[in-house]
Structure 1
Amino acid sequence: DSPHGNGMRVATESHPMGAVTVGVWIDAGTRYETPSSNGVAHFLEHLIFKGTRARTQGQLEVQVENLGMHLNAYTSREMTAYFGRAVKSQLPQVVEVLADILQNSNITAQSVENERDVILREMEEVNKQPGELLFDYLHGSAYQYCPLGKTILGPEENIRSLTRDQLISYIQTHYKPHRMVLVGAGDVDHDEMVNLANKHFGGFQPDPNPMTAFDYAKADPAFLTGGDIRLQDDSMRQAHFVFAWETCGAAHPDAVAIAVLYSLLGTYERSGIPGDCSSSRMAQALSKVPNCKSLSSFSTMYMDTGLFGVYAIGEAPELDDIAHEVMIETIRPCFKVDEIDLARAKASLKTNTLAALDGSLAIAEDIGRQMLSYGRRIPVPELFARIDAVDAEAVKRVASKYLYDRDLSVAAMGPVHDLPDYNWLRRRTFWLSY
């Protein structure tokens, strides 16, 4: 449904729980910034709650507090979300507040100046988290010269120099109704949401020359350059490193088989279930490497590309022992996929999928992401049927297509002097068979 035909979509999922989560998911993130404006999408996330033409910041905060409402937002590389949670009776007020801040936000030069230090302090906190920092380095290594290589917060010099005009320009260019989805989850009625959208977002004028996020991506596509970035820091107790390969976009037919492959590799935690008791071959192999502390596989998908890989934590020296097992077990599915392991991986993927939909906020996020990625919400039974349709040959096919003898990207930090070099890793993306 679209209020007054302006292109904005309305999507809901109802659960009688007495509470609602309502949000607006927008096809606008770091990917659509220029090098000089990198960080503007995240900057806006901070400023959007600083008052509107109808409410001062103080009035907005008092109203939210009096209603018992929780407002929040986040920015990713391809989308931005603004959402609120409240009891069912407050649904109209939540929609009205979201409509007001998105259409009438009062961004002043002074509010921009005031927010710089807040974002710089946030950057300091992010930089203290090895996992967050490492994946920023990974994207910079994998997508050099591409929009996806930029960080979400942006470089410090941009945070200190971004202007009100740049922020307003980004809003005018990308905050368009045809790139937005109004999402409701929880104790919500779809017809009521459509009526509220017509009432509060109906005045959102359609773009006479609409460009979709796919148009922007096509004009400036992402491509893997590959690379290797390492930050030697012997003051850190543990080494953190990531190996990643390029895969496909979220809507590609291979996406589900890649998800099964990611589940097949599994995770490992030395302080958790003993590795030799795990059904994951990766965990079994790493349990025999004393200095490996943990490993997790991941698959991150964007509009036209994706990153698949593993994130490991270990103690120096002899990081090559960890890398050796990781490379063997990552490339193994190109040749052999055990049916029992495959059944376990598919069951685990289904369980994790359902666990990720716990609560109205998680459901709203899933709806918003899927509506922007696929143009619809994929029902859980349909997704499970797709997972069931993935057989051993399909896993071997996608593993061979995206991993076997392919360039990879590496990011590492900490005492990583014993981590094998790029050529050593690249040679182990293929096996010599006789």
Structure 2
Amino acid sequence: MPHAIALPLTTPEIRAELSGGAEFRRTVLPSGVRVLTERVPGALSASVGFWVPVGSRDEQPHQYGSTHFLEHLLFKGTPTRTAYDVAVAFDRVGGEHNAATSREHTVYHAKIRDVDLPMAIDVLADMVTSSLLEPGEFEMERGVILEELAMADDDPGDVVWDRFYETALGDHPLARPIGGTPDSIRATTRDAVWDYYRHRYHPTELVITIAGAVDHDAAVARIEAGLRAGGWDLETPGVPLARRSTVDVHPQPARRLDVVDRPLEQVNLLVGGHGITSTDPRRHTFGLMHHVFGGGMSSRLFQEVRERRGLAYSVHSFGGSHSDAGVQGMYAGCAPTKAAEVVRVMRAEAERLVADGVTEEELADAKGATAGASALALENSDSRMSRLGRSEIHTGELLDLDAALERVEAVTLDDVRTLAGELFDGPLVAAAVGPLPADARAELER
């Protein structure tokens, strides 16, 4: 199946055979709810996710942190289940359940044996449709989230990542921290989060994905029953929410350098800038470029910074793509006395990438690594379930393994060199956490 599967919002039924004999189906219910399944031959378990295309970028000033706050609260009870009931439902069958908030979506997910899939659908549907957000639980969870933010603030890796997004993306909503700030969480009211919940969680926004041992028709019937039991109106016709604009807005950086001075043993450095969007046709080129540049132990950054010079233990390159903007760059954690040299070496490697591109051998190795990693990922039903959700919400097309690898194989040396020149040729921005010496600061600001 070398072609991509388009996922138009107005097509009620789609069916396709995927690599390895897997069967893909998508149903758009009359209410606008979308259900995507991938039946994997021989699977004995299933992963299920309830996705809502709302993230931290969608919050208004009085709601900062509400998306993440709400993710916590949906585990705290409904009219028919207590928080303990939700937890024990999965624990008693050896299942896993959790949730995640990102800048552009929220997902509630579980992994269970095939025989327990109906239970998982029932519990997740109950949480998504009928959570109470009781005032007592709300205040209890406010304290938990403040502790979570405090834990993240103690981790310089977390801090430098948030600061880099703020520095690189400026005033764009993607620049805001996903979990809000301690001040915004303290100021958030239960009514504001309740309004957010009722405004954004409804049939036209809900996407449900299941991968593994799943019967599509049975899953759709169970989902409909679960949503109706939660009081959702599935009879009124609805059109799925339009996907976000994918026009790259190229946000203006807030500054060249942001430094958080802390008495640490290391300086954590992120150096980079604008990346590409999640639907950019060059995203396969982007992935191969970063594999060669800083994607593993054989990458240029790892070999030059760690293996040849011993300047850092952790060093790599990265990319983060979203609907209308992206970031990319280099990371290193090193002793303050070595920071200036690390910056010089990273900058020199970036300049070499722009000037010379990559070699035929490097590109072939990156393609081989991508093929292997992609195939291995399909051994995990969680990965398949997530692929379905991201495809439906963000890209509007499903790329099976064969189709994805066909695009990877099509990438040329010129493609990599051209993209590297666009992304690395010119002033870069940086964020640092730790005791940054003056010589390192000068290197980052030049």
Normalised to the residue count of structure 1, the TM-score between the two structures is 0.88
1:240 to 1:180, Cα distance in 2 relative to 1, 3 A: same
The corresponding residue for 1:350 is 371
Q: Structure 1 regions of 5+ residues with no counterpart?
A: 428-434
Compute the displacement of 1:209 (Å).
8.4
Within the candidate set 44, 49, 57, 1:23 is matched to 49
Question: Could you tell me how far apart the structure 2 residues matched to 1:75 and 1:300 are?
Answer: 15
| Aligned-partner Cα distance in 1 for 2:430–2:395 | 30
**Structure 1 residue 155: Cα displacement:** 0.8
* Residues 232 and 417, structure 1, Cα contact 8 Å, conserved in 2: no
Question: Deviation string for 1:338-369 (max 9, x for gaps)?
Answer: 11111122222333333444422222122212
The answer for the alignment partner of 2:14 in structure 1 is none
SS in 2 for 1:335: helix
Q: Name the CA distance, whole Å, in 1 between partners of 2:138 and 2:404.
A: 43
Please state whether the residue corresponding to 2:47 is helix, strand or coil: strand
SS at match of 1:112: helix
Change (3 A) 1:371 1:172: same
In structure 1, how many angstroms separate the alpha carbons of the residues matched to 2:258 and 2:416? Answer: 30
C-alpha distance in structure 1 between counterparts of 2:162 and 2:108, whole Å: 23
Which of 291, 294, 303 does residue 284 from structure 1 map onto? 303
Secondary structure of the equivalent of 2:180? coil
Measured in 2, the distance between the counterparts of 1:208 and 1:289 equals: 60
2:446 equivalent to 1:421: no
Q: Amino acid of the residue matched to residue 268 of structure 2?
A: H
Question: In 2, distance between residues paired with 1:222 and 1:100?
Answer: 40
Tell me how far apart the structure 2 counterparts of residues 184 and 92 of structure 1 sit (CA, whole Å): 11
Matched residue, 2:268 = 240
1:71 is aligned to 97
- Please show how residues 168-247 of structure 1 align to structure 2 within 5 Å: 168-201=194-227, 203-205=232-234, 212-214=242-244, 223-227=251-255, 228-233=257-262, 235-247=263-275
Give the deviation of 1:130 after TM superposition: 2.0
Q: Does 1:59 align with 2:85?
A: yes
**Deviation (angstroms), 1:311:** 0.7
CA distance in 2, matches of 1:152, 1:137: 12
1:425 is displaced (CA, Å) by 4.3
Match of 1:6 among 13, 20, 31: 31
Which of 288, 293, 299 pairs up with 1:260?
Answer: 288
Q: How does 1:351-370 map to 2 (within 5 A)?
A: 351-370=372-391
Which position in structure 1 is the counterpart of 2:428? 408
Residue range with higher mean Cα deviation, 202-211 or 106-115: 202-211
Q: Tell me: CA distance 1:84–1:285, structure 2 relative to 1, closer, same or farther (3 Å).
A: closer
Asked if the contact 2:210–2:385 (Cα under 8 Å) also holds between the matched residues in 1, the reply is: yes
Q: Measure, in 1, the Cα distance between the counterparts of 2:254 and 2:288.
A: 24
2:212·2:381 contact (CA, 8 Å) conserved in 1? yes
Shift of 1:211: 5.1
Residues 125 and 71 of structure 1: is their aligned pair in 2 closer, same or farther, counting only changes over 3 Å? Answer: same
Cα distance in 1 between the residues matched to 2:439 and 2:331: 13
Q: For residue 285 of structure 1, what is the amino acid of its counterpart? A: E
8 Å contact 2:32–2:204 — kept in the other structure? yes
Contact 1:318–1:418, Cα closer than 8 Å, also in 2: no
Contact in 1 for aligned 2:27/2:36 (Cα 8 Å): no
In the alignment, is the contact (CA less than 8 A) between 1:178 and 1:210 conserved in 2?
yes
Pairing 1:130–2:156 present: yes
1:430 corresponding residue in structure 2: none
CA distance in structure 2 between the aligned counterparts of 1:392 and 1:226, rounded to whole angstroms: 33
Secondary structure at 1:237's aligned position in 2? coil
Instruction: Name the SS of the counterpart of 2:50 in structure 1.
Output: strand
Q: CA deviation at 1:410?
A: 0.8
Retained in 1: the 8 A contact 2:272–2:424?
Answer: no
Which sits farther off after the overlay, 356-365 or 389-398? 356-365
SS where residue 259 of structure 2 aligns? strand
1:110 correspondence with 2:139 = no
Bigger drift between 109-118 and 290-299 goes to 290-299
Secondary structure of the equivalent of 1:366?
helix
Kindly state the Cα deviation for residue 77 of structure 1 after the two structures are TM-superposed: 0.9
Counterpart AA for 2:416 = V
193-202 or 6-15: bigger deviation: 193-202
Partners of 1:281 and 1:102 lie apart in 2 by 45
> Could you tell me which residue of structure 2 aligns to residue 328 of structure 1?
348
Report how many aligned residue pairs link the two structures: 413
- The CA deviation at 1:313 is 1.3
1:283–1:60: structure 2 CA closer, same or farther, 3 Å change rule? closer
Partner residue in 2 for 1:393? 414
Residue 155 to residue 222, structure 1, CA distance change in 2 (3 Å): farther
Counterpart-to-counterpart distance in 1, 2:52 and 2:253: 28
Distance 2:379 2:150 in 1: 31
Unmatched 5+ stretches in structure 2:
1-25
Q: Pick from 327, 334, 337 the counterpart of residue 317 of structure 1.
A: 337
